[in-house]
Structure 1
Amino acid sequence: MKEKNTKKFSSEGTSAGKPLYDKPLPGKPSIGKPSPGKPNVVFIIADDHRGEAIGAFGNETVKTPVLDSLAADGTSCRNTRIFGGLSGAVCAPSRACVHTGIPIFRAMIGKDMKNREHSSVIRPDVRLMPQTMQDAGYLTHAIGKWHNDKASFARSFGGGDKLAFHGMSEHTSVPVYDYDVTGVYPKENEYMEHTFSTELFTDAAVNFIENYQVDQPFFLYVAYTAPHDPRTAPEPYASMYDKSDIQLPPNFVSEHPFDTGDMTVRDEKLAQWPRDENEIRGHIADYYAMISHLDAQIGRVVEALKAKGIFDDTLFVYTADHGLAVGQHGLMGKQNLYDHSVRIPLIFRGPGMPKGKQELALASNIDIFPTVAGLCGVELPEETEGISLCPIFAGESDVIRNIVGAIYRDVQRMVTDGRWKLIRYYRSPETNTGTERIQLFDLLNDPWETQDVSADPANARVIEQLASEMASWMQESGDILQDKPVNPVAPLA
């Protein structure tokens, strides 16, 4: 792999030969502003940022002034969960759900859990969010992580920079590509960047905004690799949180009480067993440091938009591919269906968005694409299955979904109606892991999911109703386990 120094955009174009967006279209003035009714879009997706780890959402420890400001000036969808994934690398299928607005069983090329390609390659006949925006007249530009196949990327973006096709890397040794007009991205064109990843991608985003002068709305996609491990934030952020001041979450336990079906996946090996309180405090401090550094870098993107005079003309979207346990429930990773792992931040700020609202309507990450399209007046592909949140933003409805479900491999399924949440665990015939059992949580009175109330006879009707909802949802989604009984097994004592 060749080495290459970080470079700025210039009017000469990228090293791959793709011209930059600093020249007006023929016969049009060079104003850099969107067309009426078509706002610019800055779509930011983080890696591993769980839904509650933002100051504006009630977390009193983590410092996120920029995201707090975006939330105060826009609308936050607080009850958004990911669809899930069929492998431990939940990032790739989760991003595919965001890109396509389709459940992973129909968005991906196959359902073989042991085939890593099937967990990342999007079907060639499916149109993606940036592809759809491009077809609607948007200039699409990508920066950062694309954890799906290169073919789906190539048909979605007309430009890009610092493109990372790997799932993760050291934050100061980031293998990237320049934009390739051929869409091939041969391995020999990959090179290493040593600027910290969050700053590297932000530099590219800021340069794009500063140089953009085309009389055409843009869709700028910025995909960070933070706060994913290794959690090695640069100073002064690395020292921002003293682990001795970190309070353990209410659902911290030293060991998970039963086999979830994937207890020794890579993420779970990041801390010793049983979990040590002091070690977990250190992990949380490092996690928050990464988030605060990310927040500051997002602030640079905001300031670039303001300096350009287009911030108020831009739809700003912030979300994440999934959450993370970091010690909650005795777990470290995202390979589970507790809310710390499936609930994600989702903030919309821009033209026409209500200010300072925190919506609690149930939503799935397959609803993000339809919502962005709706806010931009863009027609959706026929195959899109997600539901737009726009009626909720407009005050026309309080609900778009009665239930939301999520999956993990062949060992876990979840459904929630917002108040109650049922998790069904299976024993995998493929890996001979997992436990046949259920959990039921009352999220209204137990948001940290500390008390499994499935054994309470008073909740039998709730379990029956949610089990029925889960079975229907699995069938509608094309779930690989749709023919497997969902009838609740007896809860364990």
Structure 2
Amino acid sequence: MKFLVILFSFSISLIASEKPNIVFIFADDMSIDATGLHGIYNCKTPNLDKLAKSGVSFTRAYNMGAWSGAVCAASRAMLNSGTFVNHAKVAIKKKPHWSEYMKQAGYETYMTGKWHVPGAPRFDVVKDERGGMPNGSGYNRPKSLDDYKNGWKPWDKSRGGFWEGGTHWSEVVANNSIDFIERAKNVNKPFFMYIAFNATHDPRQAPKEFIDMYPLEDMDVPKNFLANYPYDTEIGCDPKRLRDERLMPTPRTDFAVKVHRQEYFALATHMDQQIGRILKAIELSGKADNTYIIFTADHGLAVGNHGLVGKQSMYEHSMRVPFFIAGPKMKKGSVFETPIYLQDIMPTTLELAGVEKPEYVDFKSLMGLIRGDRKTQYDLIYGKYIDFQRMVLDGDYKLIFYPKINVYRLFNIKKDRLEMNDLIMNPEYKEKTKILKEKLEQLMQEMGDDN
């Protein structure tokens, strides 16, 4: 009998050890444009570029939206509950979390960094859990060159923020992650790591050498720059009231946009360096061949696009994020252009871990796409922001709706990536607009969209 118990225990251990390790790396407020590989601007992210090339990248990964200005809270609630935006506010409190399913599958679960989800993180090990954002942001800046020279500085540690505690928070996240990997390499048990950076959220603070990588004279102002977005107040992006929009002076100026993008890219590059350290630790651990590494962000960010600063819009810069998966079953250099939701990673990892997807989970595993079993993940992509904005994406066409003022905007995002050419008044698109309006109305009903 004792022999049978030992044999059974050995079998369970063997099964567990055969499961792949999963490392999920999550950024905050990071648009796809803040990467070197798929971005259109000169943001340097060599480690993320290398990760993307070593596996699969999805170039049209979207966040579904939010029920408040804290878009990251809704995004993370969807991610950890697996439910769509109109269900997640309740589900995140009442349903098991992503980490709990991984634990049930035999994984040791680990979390460090930003949480921003109701309740305590449900992981075996939690290290330096952070709140929604660091304090220390400078608002309404820079108003002038003198204000820039003499005012708030991203490397000034006395301002707190990412420097609170003496070590930059991105470095703390990397240090914690490396410590766990060092310990896990000697344990015969699969691990699930949830590594959540606060970068590239404001305050966009980084060491001075990273700021110096982006001289202001070399910074580009987005081609779709506006001094003010024409409907900013009506769509919930009032530059005098919404926190994100108050970071930059209004009317927006070329100079202010360059400064903010300088700091945004510098923080992204600094985070990329820390991610490189984590990837190196995985490589040295001896576990890399049986480890999936995923990188994405909770939503994008405007930082000057369309005269906006934050993430509270239905434009590509605020909804679309980088999304990479590297690992044993991922074909190196594969690129998928079909639209997905970033939260699809939750059921994807459940499938990789051999866990049956719970019936209430709305998002879909990406493995069918990756294996080639299907070509499309969703027929339509849906977006919402409180009761101010709605969106439907159908192939190359995006219809945006502002319910408060009954305004529609129509873009062909394949031909017009920066969404500068509104087609809504073009008579050639009258029938297309009619069809998309009907699809949006139907999609809202399917999504349980009642606010």
1:169 aligns with 2:135: yes
Instruction: Structure 1: state its 5+ residue gaps.
Output: 1-25, 110-120, 177-191, 428-434, 482-493
Aligned ranges 1:253-402 → 2 under 5 Å: 253-259=226-232, 260-263=235-238, 264-402=241-379
Note if contact 2:170-2:197 (Cα within 8 Å) is conserved in structure 1.
yes
Quick one: distance in 2 between partners of 1:269 and 1:409? 19
Amino acid corresponding to residue 414 of structure 2 in structure 1:
L
**Residue in structure 1 matched with residue 55 of structure 2 by the alignment:** 74
Q: Once the two structures are superposed, what CA deviation does each residue of 1:14-51 show, in whole Å capped at 9, x if it has no partner?
A: xxxxxxxxxxxx9879x999622x21011011010002
**Residue in structure 2 matched with residue 204 of structure 1 by the alignment:** 176
Amino acid corresponding to residue 162 of structure 1 in structure 2:
D
Change (3 A) 1:337 1:349: same
Which range is displaced more, 52-61 or 463-472? 52-61
Note if contact 1:127-1:381 (Cα within 8 Å) is conserved in structure 2.
no
Question: Which of 101, 119, 124 is the aligned partner of 1:132?
Answer: 101
Quick one: distance in 1 between partners of 2:10 and 2:214? 51
Amino acid corresponding to residue 209 of structure 2 in structure 1:
P
**Residue in structure 2 matched with residue 6 of structure 1 by the alignment:** none
Question: Which of 472, 485, 488 is the aligned partner of 2:442?
Answer: 472
Note if contact 1:34-1:40 (Cα within 8 Å) is conserved in structure 2.
no
**Residue in structure 2 matched with residue 239 of structure 1 by the alignment:** 212
Change (3 A) 1:33 1:330: farther
Instruction: Structure 2: state its 5+ residue gaps.
Output: 1-7, 137-153
Amino acid corresponding to residue 240 of structure 1 in structure 2:
M
Higher helix share: 2
Note if contact 1:34-1:218 (Cα within 8 Å) is conserved in structure 2.
no
Quick one: distance in 2 between partners of 1:466 and 1:123? 34
**Residue in structure 1 matched with residue 64 of structure 2 by the alignment:** 83
Question: Which of 224, 229, 232 is the aligned partner of 2:202?
Answer: 229
Question: Which of 17, 29, 34 is the aligned partner of 1:35?
Answer: 17
Aligned ranges 1:151-170 → 2 under 5 Å: 151=120, 153=121, 156-170=122-136
Task: Report how many residues are paired.
Answer: 417
Q: Once the two structures are superposed, what CA deviation does each residue of 1:120-153 show, in whole Å capped at 9, x if it has no partner?
A: x8222x12211111111111010011101124x2
Quick one: distance in 2 between partners of 1:208 and 1:233? 25
Quick one: distance in 1 between partners of 2:343 and 2:437? 22
Q: Kindly, what percent of the aligned residue pairs are identical?
A: 37
Question: Which of 112, 115, 126 is the aligned partner of 1:146?
Answer: 115
1:443 aligns with 2:413: yes
- What SS does the corresponding residue of 2:321 show, helix, strand or coil? coil
Amino acid corresponding to residue 418 of structure 1 in structure 2:
G
Deviation of the 1:160 alpha carbon: 1.5
Quick one: distance in 2 between partners of 1:238 and 1:357? 32
Amino acid corresponding to residue 86 of structure 2 in structure 1:
F
Deviation of the 1:166 alpha carbon: 3.6
- What SS does the corresponding residue of 1:458 show, helix, strand or coil? helix
**Residue in structure 2 matched with residue 195 of structure 1 by the alignment:** 167
**Residue in structure 1 matched with residue 139 of structure 2 by the alignment:** none
**Residue in structure 2 matched with residue 187 of structure 1 by the alignment:** none
**Residue in structure 2 matched with residue 49 of structure 1 by the alignment:** 30
Deviation of the 1:368 alpha carbon: 1.9
Deviation of the 1:174 alpha carbon: 6.4
Aligned ranges 1:102-117 → 2 under 5 Å: 102-109=83-90
Amino acid corresponding to residue 157 of structure 1 in structure 2:
F
Change (3 A) 1:458 1:398: same
Note if contact 2:225-2:304 (Cα within 8 Å) is conserved in structure 1.
yes
Deviation of the 1:346 alpha carbon: 1.0
- What SS does the corresponding residue of 2:73 show, helix, strand or coil? helix
Q: Once the two structures are superposed, what CA deviation does each residue of 1:178-235 show, in whole Å capped at 9, x if it has no partner?
A: xxxxxxxxxxxxxx63210100111000000011222110001111000111111113
Q: Once the two structures are superposed, what CA deviation does each residue of 1:457-493 show, in whole Å capped at 9, x if it has no partner?
A: 1111211221122112211111123xxxxxxxxxxxx
Note if contact 2:398-2:413 (Cα within 8 Å) is conserved in structure 1.
yes
**Residue in structure 2 matched with residue 487 of structure 1 by the alignment:** none
Note if contact 2:93-2:118 (Cα within 8 Å) is conserved in structure 1.
no
Change (3 A) 1:167 1:122: farther
Deviation of the 1:322 alpha carbon: 0.7
